[in-house]
Amino acid sequence: MPRPPSLPRQPRSVARPEGRTLPVQGGPPGLPAEPDGDAVSSSPSLALPQRRARDGSPSDQRTATHDSARALGRQRSASSVSGTPDVHAELSAERPPALSLGSPTDFRLAFALAPVGLVISRQRIMVDCNEAACEIFGYSHELMIGQSFMLLYPSHDEYVRQGERMLPVLGARGRWSDQRVMRRATGESFWCHVTGRALDRADPHAAGIWSFEDLGARQPVKAELTSREREVAARLLDGLTSKEIGRALGISHRTVEIHRARLMRKYGAATTAELVQKILRGSG
C-alpha cells in the first residue's frame, strides 16, 4: 500500500513568560527564530522583544553605541597623553568669558583691585601690595616693595614690640587681628585695623598675608601720643583691663595705669569709658 506523501514539518514555538519566543526545531540553539510576518502575535504576552543580533537590529545599535563610547574614551586618553585638546577642553573653550574662573589673571586682578589694603610679606618684608595699600599709606608700589613693615609704623620700638607680641599668637592660631596707630608717608598717624595670616605656623614671620583698613576718617588721631600711649590706647579699644594690657605689652599693670592717666588727661576724659569714646571719635 503506497505511503501518503509526508508533509513538511513546521517548527513549533513556545511562548516564555517574558514574551520571548524560542524555537524548538531549527536555528542555532540560544538564538531566537526569525519571525515571518504573522509569527508575532498581537498579544502583549507573546510579543517578541526587539533583541535580534543581525541586520542592524537594536541589539547591534546598542553594541555599536558601546563600542563608540569605548573608542571615544580611548581617544580622550590618547589626547590627554599626546597633548591634543580633549572634549573637556573644547567644552571649556566654548564657555562665555564670564564663566571662565580661576585663571592667574583673575586672581591677580582681584588682588590688585581689592577694596582693602593687601600686602604679602616674607620675614616682615613687603614683597607685594595692591593699589588700596598704596593709597592708604601714601607710597607708590615701587617704594613699598622690598621695604620692611617698619616703614608703616610710627616708631621703630613699636615695630619691634608688635612683632614680638604677634609671634606666639600667630604660631598658635595662625591669625592676628587688632587696631593700632600707623603712619602714612606724610608722617600723619592714623588708626588702622590690621588682620593677618601666617602661612607657616612653625615660622610665623616667614610668609604672611596682611590686610589694612583705614579707620582715620571716622577715628582720627588728634592728640600727640607716645609709642607706649598708642599701644595702651589700642588695647583699651579692645576692652582689656590694666592687668591684661600689662601682660600683652610685657609691662606692669601700674605702668599701664600711668599711661592711661596721661591719655585721660590729653583727651580730657574723666573715666576710662569716656576715654575710649573720645579715642574712637578722635576728639581731644
Considering the domain 104-221 in this protein, what is its CATH number? 3.30.450.20
pLDDT in tens, 51-93: 444 444 444 544 554 455 455 445 444 444 444 444 344 434 4
Cell of 138: 601714601
Q: What is the pLDDT along the chain (284 residues), one digit of tens a residue?
A: 556 555 555 555 444 444 444 444 444 444 444 444 444 334 333 343 444 444 444 445 445 544 554 554 454 444 444 444 443 444 344 444 444 556 777 888 999 999 999 999 999 999 999 999 999 999 999 999 999 999 999 999 999 999 999 999 999 999 999 999 999 999 999 999 999 999 999 999 999 999 999 998 888 887 788 989 999 999 998 889 999 999 988 899 999 999 999 999 998 999 999 998 888 887 65
Helix (H) or strand (E) holding 88: helix 87-94
Q: How far apart are CA 153 and CA 192, in angstroms?
A: 11
Q: How far apart are CA 77 and CA 88, in angstroms?
A: 12
Confirm if 53 and 59 have CB atoms less than 8 A apart.
yes
Tell me how far CA of residue 220 lies from CA of 181, 229, 235, 282, 283, in angstroms: 10, 15, 17, 5, 8
Cβ neighbours of 144 (radius 10 Å): 21
Considering only CA atoms, which of 229, 223, 193 is closest in space to residue 211? Answer: 193
Q: Give the residue range(s) of CATH 3.30.450.20 domains in the chain.
A: 104-221
Q: How far apart are CA 199 and CA 207, in angstroms?
A: 6
Phi and psi angles of residue 88, each rounded to the nearest 5 degrees, phi first: -60, -40
CATH class of domain segment(s) 222-284: mainly alpha
Q: Give the residue range(s) of CATH 1.10.10.10 domains in the chain.
A: 222-284
